[in-house]
Amino acid sequence: MEQEGIVRKGCWVRVLAAVTAAQRSGVKSAVGISGGADSVLLAEALWRSGAKPILFHFNHRWRGRVGDGDAKWVVAWARKRGLRVVLGRAKSAGRTGEGEARAARWSFFQQAAKRCGVKELWLAHQADDQAETVLMQLLRGAGPDGLAGMAVRSRQGKVVVVRAMMGFTREEVRQAAGEMGLSWREDKTNEDEKGWRSRVRHKVLPYLSQMYGREVRGALCRAAEIMAGEKEYWEKELGKISIHPDVREWRNKAVAWQRRAIRSWLGKRGYLGANLAEVEGVRRLLVGGKTAGWQVRGGGQVRRSGNRLSWCSGKGSDC
């Protein structure tokens, strides 16, 4: 991320270089595109670099005809560049919570990627999004993994998510789009304060910067980078974890090791985002004894039978 408050000339050239450097040859890719400046710039950079990404557009149906207009605009924008568009819509109209909206959008991305054979999904998150995410995670009481924020490259199920513009601020992204003469759609729901992220963006972060006497976004991004390094170290330290871990091998480990191992094991079983109470509940199973279990959100359960842990998703015959 560039020094706070400074927007250098030639932003487009640097964005194009970052996007080009992040590409993998021969990999079928898609871009999540809303029609906003960030995602339009990302799609443009990929197209200018010679790629032919599929565009995934999801209509949350929050804004009626305006949202429908966004979808039409994306289709017309893509047609001029010879790019394919896959459209998705929420099941019902009306505003939902941010978490519900994110889950619906991600479900569409996963289904579209599977249907189209896409291996990489490119998203237009940038440094401001990272700062907001880290602060929100901190206020939720997240652990080190949550404070690592969003990685430039990560795996979500069978899809690799690429965020090549994480080193640029929102101002730099807008400048790059302006340098290329790009047009885009403005989503006014990003400006209202009904959503938690919008309040963090427009009130909390500016207030913290004012009280602290300097811009705090860069500091939050640097903290995320440090935590990402910690996360990478722990993944190597833990090594390969058995599908059915032996509690005798875990119970004498340090508490930090146990927590990391449990969170990693649950994640690999498909249960992401375990909170502290759930992790501590599973840690209680490490003491051994008779068959025991610990319930988690969504009907899932961790069971200990003898000295082995098992995961039950609550959605099939594994229960």
Better-scored residue on pLDDT, 191 or 24:
24
**314: phi then psi, degrees, rounded to nearest 5:** 80, 10
Better-scored residue on pLDDT, 124 or 288:
124
Please check whether residues 114 and 177 belong to one and the same domain.
Answer: yes
pTM over 0.75: yes
Residues 6+ apart with CB under 8 A from 105: 32, 58, 60, 88
Please check whether residues 23 and 167 belong to one and the same domain.
Answer: yes
Beta bridge partners of 156: 159
DSSP class per residue in 128-169: HHHHHHHHHHHHHT--HHHHT---SEEEETTEEEE-TTTTS-
pLDDT tier at 315 (50, 70, 90 boundaries)? low
CATH assignment at residue 78? 3.40.50.620
**51 inside domain:** yes
Residue 256: CB atoms within 10 Å? 11
Please check whether residues 194 and 249 belong to one and the same domain.
Answer: no
Which of 177, 212, 247 delimits the end of a domain?
212
Q: Supply the Cα-derived Rg of the chain in whole angstroms.
A: 22
Better-scored residue on pLDDT, 94 or 1:
94
Please check whether residues 135 and 284 belong to one and the same domain.
Answer: no
Which of 144, 177, 212 delimits the end of a domain?
212
**258 inside domain:** yes
**222 inside domain:** no
Reply yes or no on whether the pLDDT at 316 is more than 60. Answer: no
Please check whether residues 263 and 118 belong to one and the same domain.
Answer: no
Integer Cα distance of 116 and 131 in angstroms: 32
Residues 194-218 have pLDDT tens digits of: 778 889 999 999 999 999 999 999 9
| pLDDT at residue number 47 | 97
**318 inside domain:** no
Residues 133-189 have pLDDT tens digits of: 999 999 988 888 889 999 999 988 889 999 999 999 999 999 999 999 999 998 777
**28 inside domain:** yes
Number of structural domains in the chain = 2
**317 inside domain:** no
Q: What is the mean pLDDT of the chain?
A: 90
Domain that holds residue 294: 239-312
| pLDDT at residue number 318 | 54
Residues 26-62 have pLDDT tens digits of: 999 999 999 999 999 999 999 999 999 999 999 998 8
**224 inside domain:** no
| pLDDT at residue number 274 | 87
